[in-house]
Structure 1
Amino acid sequence: MHQPALPDMTGSALKLFSRTTQAHRLERIRSIASAVNQSGALETILDRVLSTICSSEPWSRGGIMAVNRVSGFSELVIGYHPGEVRHPGLPTAWTLSSSPALHVAETRQPLIIADAQAATQFADYQADALARGYRTVILLPMGCSTDEGHDMVLSIHTPYLIEVSEQEIDFLVTTAHLVAIAVNKSRHLQRERRQNERLRSVLDRDADLMGLVLGGADIAAIASMVGAMLAYPFVVIDFIGDATTARQSVDADNLSDREWAALVEGLAAPLLGNLIAQAGANGADMVLDLSSIGLPIVLPTVVEPLRIQGETVGGLLVFPRGRRLDDIDRLIVQEVRFALGAHMMQRHADAKRATRDISDFLEQLCRGGIVDPAHAQARARRLGLDLNRPCFLLTVVLPKAVAPPFAE
Structure 2
Amino acid sequence: MLAPGLVKDDPRRVQRVHPPFRRKRSFSSASVCATNPAMEPSSEQRLPSSDQASLFRSLGAAASHINASGDLDTTLRHLLEAVCKDTPWAAGGIMSVDTDEGYARVVARHDPSHLGASLSDRWSLAESPSRLALAGNEPVIIRDAQKSRQFPGYRREAIEHGYRTVVVLPMQYRNLAGHRTVLSVRSRAIVAVTQAEIALLQFVVHLGEIAMNKARSLAEEQAFGERLRSALTAHGLLLDQALADGSVEAAAAKVASMLPNPLVIVDLTSRRVLTQHSPLPLEIDDITWQAMTAGEGGQQFLDLARRTFPGGRLDARDLEVSIGGRKLRVPAIVCPLNVDGERVGALILFSRTSDFNDLDHLLLDSARFGLSVQMMRSYVAHAAAARSLEDLFADLLDGKVRALHDIADRARRLGIDLDMPARLLVVSLARDDRLAPAAAAEIRRAIEPAVQRFDRLATAVARAGAIVVRYPADRGKSTDMAALTRRLIDEVRTAAGETPVVVESDICRQPADYAGAWRDCGRVRELARRFNRSGVVTARDFGPFFVLMSAVDGTEMRAFVDDLIGAAARHDKTHGTAYIQTLSTFLDHGCRSQPCADALGLHVTTLRYRLARLRDLFGLETDTPEQRFALQLALQFQKIIVPGEAHAVSEEPEET
| SS in structure 1 of the partner of residue 344 of structure 2 | strand
Which residue number in structure 2 is paired with residue 122 of structure 1? 151
> Which of these residues, 358, 363, 372, is aligned with residue 327 of structure 1?
358
Distance (whole Å) between structure 2 residues aligned to residue 352 and residue 36 of structure 1: 64
> Which of these residues, 341, 352, 367, is aligned with residue 372 of structure 2?
341
| SS in structure 2 of the partner of residue 369 of structure 1 | helix
Shift of 1:395: 2.8
Conserved? CA contact 2:248–2:375, under 8 Å: no
Conserved? CA contact 2:231–2:258, under 8 Å: yes
Equivalent runs, 1:26-37 vs 2, <5 Å: 26-37=56-67
Which residue number in structure 1 is paired with residue 33 of structure 2? none
Distance (whole Å) between structure 2 residues aligned to residue 65 and residue 252 of structure 1: 38
Shift of 1:278: 4.6
Matched, 1:367 2:400: yes
Distance (whole Å) between structure 2 residues aligned to residue 277 and residue 363 of structure 1: 32
Distance (whole Å) between structure 2 residues aligned to residue 363 and residue 370 of structure 1: 10
Shift of 1:276: 5.9
| SS in structure 2 of the partner of residue 134 of structure 1 | coil
Task: Kindly provide the CA deviation profile for residues 77-96 of structure 1, in whole angstroms up to 9, marking residues without a partner as x.
Answer: 11111143x86543121110
> Which of these residues, 511, 518, 534, is aligned with residue 395 of structure 1?
518
| SS in structure 2 of the partner of residue 279 of structure 1 | coil
Shift of 1:235: 0.2
> Which of these residues, 146, 160, 178, is aligned with residue 149 of structure 1?
178
Moved more, 44-53 or 353-362: 353-362
Distance (whole Å) between structure 1 residues aligned to residue 184 and residue 306 of structure 2: 58
C-alpha change, 1:275 and 1:13, in structure 2 (3 Å) is farther
> Which of these residues, 121, 132, 156, is aligned with residue 161 of structure 2?
132
Which residue number in structure 2 is paired with residue 194 of structure 1? 223
Shift of 1:380: 2.9
Distance (whole Å) between structure 1 residues aligned to residue 155 and residue 298 of structure 2: 64
Conserved? CA contact 2:59–2:82, under 8 Å: no
Distance (whole Å) between structure 2 residues aligned to residue 83 and residue 16 of structure 1: 17
Equivalent runs, 1:16-165 vs 2, <5 Å: 16-18=45-47, 20=49, 23-24=53-54, 26-84=56-114, 89-165=118-194
Distance (whole Å) between structure 1 residues aligned to residue 301 and residue 378 of structure 2: 24
Conserved? CA contact 1:140–1:173, under 8 Å: yes
Conserved? CA contact 1:290–1:297, under 8 Å: yes
Conserved? CA contact 1:136–1:157, under 8 Å: yes
Distance (whole Å) between structure 1 residues aligned to residue 333 and residue 47 of structure 2: 67
Which residue number in structure 1 is paired with residue 415 of structure 2? 384
C-alpha change, 1:24 and 1:143, in structure 2 (3 Å) is same
Task: Kindly provide the CA deviation profile for residues 17-48 of structure 1, in whole angstroms up to 9, marking residues without a partner as x.
Answer: 24546655543442231122122321111111
Which residue number in structure 1 is paired with residue 388 of structure 2? 357
**Residue type matched to 2:68 in 1?**
Q
Give RMSD over aligned pairs: 2.8
Size of the aligned set, in residue pairs, is 395
Conserved? CA contact 1:276–1:303, under 8 Å: no
Which residue number in structure 2 is paired with residue 166 of structure 1? 195
Distance (whole Å) between structure 2 residues aligned to residue 222 and residue 7 of structure 1: 75
Larger Rg: 2
Conserved? CA contact 2:97–2:180, under 8 Å: yes
Distance (whole Å) between structure 1 residues aligned to residue 48 and residue 299 of structure 2: 78
C-alpha change, 1:371 and 1:250, in structure 2 (3 Å) is closer
> Which of these residues, 260, 273, 276, is aligned with residue 231 of structure 1?
260
Equivalent runs, 1:199-214 vs 2, <5 Å: 199-214=228-243
Task: Kindly provide the CA deviation profile for residues 75-114 of structure 1, in whole angstroms up to 9, marking residues without a partner as x.
Answer: 1111111143x86543121110110011112222111111
Shift of 1:293: 7.4
Distance (whole Å) between structure 2 residues aligned to residue 334 and residue 386 of structure 1: 45
Give 5+ residue unaligned stretches, structure 2. Answer: 13-38, 423-507, 509-513, 527-656
Shift of 1:13: 4.8
Conserved? CA contact 1:17–1:162, under 8 Å: yes
Distance (whole Å) between structure 2 residues aligned to residue 58 and residue 47 of structure 1: 18
Conserved? CA contact 1:212–1:222, under 8 Å: yes
Conserved? CA contact 2:271–2:302, under 8 Å: no
Conserved? CA contact 1:117–1:126, under 8 Å: yes
> Which of these residues, 234, 238, 249, is aligned with residue 278 of structure 2?
249
Task: Kindly provide the CA deviation profile for residues 161-184 of structure 1, in whole angstroms up to 9, marking residues without a partner as x.
Answer: 111121111111111011111101
Distance (whole Å) between structure 1 residues aligned to residue 11 and residue 100 of structure 2: 38
Conserved? CA contact 1:285–1:301, under 8 Å: yes
Distance (whole Å) between structure 1 residues aligned to residue 152 and residue 42 of structure 2: 24
Distance (whole Å) between structure 2 residues aligned to residue 268 and residue 103 of structure 1: 58
Conserved? CA contact 2:11–2:143, under 8 Å: no
Equivalent pairs: percent with the same residue?
30
Moved more, 38-47 or 25-34: 25-34
Conserved? CA contact 1:65–1:78, under 8 Å: yes
Which residue number in structure 2 is paired with residue 404 of structure 1? none
Distance (whole Å) between structure 1 residues aligned to residue 116 and residue 47 of structure 2: 30
Task: Kindly provide the CA deviation profile for residues 278-325 of structure 1, in whole angstroms up to 9, marking residues without a partner as x.
Answer: 523222111113479753632110110111222222111001279712
**Structure having greater relative contact order (Cα 8 Å, sep ≥ 6):** 1
Which residue number in structure 2 is paired with residue 279 of structure 1? 309
Distance (whole Å) between structure 1 residues aligned to residue 352 and residue 174 of structure 2: 27
Conserved? CA contact 2:263–2:349, under 8 Å: yes
Distance (whole Å) between structure 2 residues aligned to residue 217 and residue 343 of structure 1: 8
> Which of these residues, 341, 344, 362, is aligned with residue 310 of structure 1?
341
Distance (whole Å) between structure 2 residues aligned to residue 207 and residue 8 of structure 1: 70
- TM-score norm. by structure 2 comes to 0.56
Conserved? CA contact 2:91–2:113, under 8 Å: no
- TM-score norm. by structure 1 comes to 0.87
Conserved? CA contact 1:67–1:75, under 8 Å: yes
Conserved? CA contact 1:94–1:125, under 8 Å: no
Conserved? CA contact 1:141–1:154, under 8 Å: yes
Which residue number in structure 1 is paired with residue 445 of structure 2? none
C-alpha change, 1:220 and 1:187, in structure 2 (3 Å) is same
Shift of 1:352: 1.6
| SS in structure 1 of the partner of residue 326 of structure 2 | coil
Matched, 1:295 2:298: no
**Residue type matched to 1:4 in 2?**
V
Distance (whole Å) between structure 2 residues aligned to residue 154 and residue 312 of structure 1: 61
Distance (whole Å) between structure 2 residues aligned to residue 173 and residue 291 of structure 1: 59
Distance (whole Å) between structure 1 residues aligned to residue 154 and residue 299 of structure 2: 63
Distance (whole Å) between structure 1 residues aligned to residue 268 and residue 244 of structure 2: 21
Distance (whole Å) between structure 2 residues aligned to residue 122 and residue 275 of structure 1: 65
Moved more, 314-323 or 13-22: 13-22
| SS in structure 2 of the partner of residue 225 of structure 1 | helix
Distance (whole Å) between structure 2 residues aligned to residue 56 and residue 295 of structure 1: 72
**Residue type matched to 1:289 in 2?**
E
Task: Kindly provide the CA deviation profile for residues 367-390 of structure 1, in whole angstroms up to 9, marking residues without a partner as x.
Answer: 2335975xx655433322223322
Distance (whole Å) between structure 1 residues aligned to residue 298 and residue 233 of structure 2: 34
C-alpha change, 1:77 and 1:244, in structure 2 (3 Å) is same
